[in-house]
């Protein structure tokens, strides 16, 4: 006997053939037929039409599926839209970073101005100290001169 694998064809036994013929014959029958009305003389009423009207409407696709289908079917628009979104978000990111840098620069400028003011004040204080030292030096020199003259007896 030949070994059966995926690619080989196996025939049907008589019971399987009969079941397949029954399936094919039932396939082409109507799914539903109209019921006979209770009064055969009355032809304008039917429960069949009411059943069709009372059936639920088919549910539409969810928003997520509609969006996925749109992007799958319109990939060029998706790519162009993605590039535009990236450019806009990049521009916003750049503007925000630039504003942060400007604020930092303004803060640094204020600190530099304060340091310059302190340096100016220190230099003016040093200038005053220098003048005071000169005056002190002149006074001490005069005092030494006086002491020297008093010791040598010139006065």
Confidence of residue 104 (pLDDT cuts 50, 70, 90): very high
The band of 12, judged by pLDDT with boundaries at 50, 70 and 90, is: confident
Query: Under DSSP, is residue 124 helix (H, G, I), strand (E, B) or coil?
Result: helix
Query: Would you place residue 41 in the very low, low, confident or very high pLDDT band (cuts 50, 70, 90)?
Result: low
Q: Tell me the average pLDDT across 4-10.
A: 65
Instruction: Select the more confidently predicted residue: 30 or 129.
Output: 129
pLDDT at 21: 80
Q: Would you state the pLDDT for residue 153?
A: 74
| Nearest partner of 149 among 135, 141, 137, judged by Cα | 141
pLDDT band at 117 (very low <50, low <70, confident <90, very high): very high
Arithmetic mean of pLDDT, 112-138: 88
Residue 49 corresponds to which tokens in the numbers above? Answer: 């039409």
11 or 80: which leads in pLDDT: 80
Q: Do 48 and 35 meet the contact criterion of CB atoms below 8 Å apart? A: yes
CA distance 92 to 118: 39
Residues 78, 71: contact at Cβ < 8 Å?
A: yes
pLDDT (0 to 100) of residue 57: 66
pTM check: above 0.85: no
| Assigned token pair, 61 | 């696709």
pLDDT of residue 83: 94
CA distances, 30 to each of 7, 25, 107 (Å): 36, 11, 85
Query: Across residues 64-81, what is the average pLDDT?
Result: 87
Residue 121, token pair as written in the block = 């004040």
37: which 2 tokens? 């009305």
């Amino acid at each position: 006997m030949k070994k059966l694998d995926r690619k080989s064809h196996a025939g049907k036994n008589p019971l399987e053939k009969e079941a397949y013929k029954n399936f094919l014959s039932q396939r082409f029958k109507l799914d539903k037929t109209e019921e006979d009305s209770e009064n055969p003389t009355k032809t304008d009423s039917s429960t069949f039409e009411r059943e069709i009207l009372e059936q639920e409407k088919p549910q539409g696709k969810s928003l997520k599926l509609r969006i996925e289908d749109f992007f799958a079917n319109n990939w060029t628009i998706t790519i162009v839209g993605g590039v535009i979104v990236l450019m806009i978000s990049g521009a916003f990111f750049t503007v925000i970073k630039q504003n942060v840098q400007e604020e930092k620069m303004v803060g640094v400028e204020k600190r530099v101005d304060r340091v310059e003011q302190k340096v100016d004040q220190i230099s003016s204080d040093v200038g005053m100290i220098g003048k005071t030292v000169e005056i002190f030096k002149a006074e001490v020199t005069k005092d030494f001169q006086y002491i020297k003259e008093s010791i040598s007896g010139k006065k």
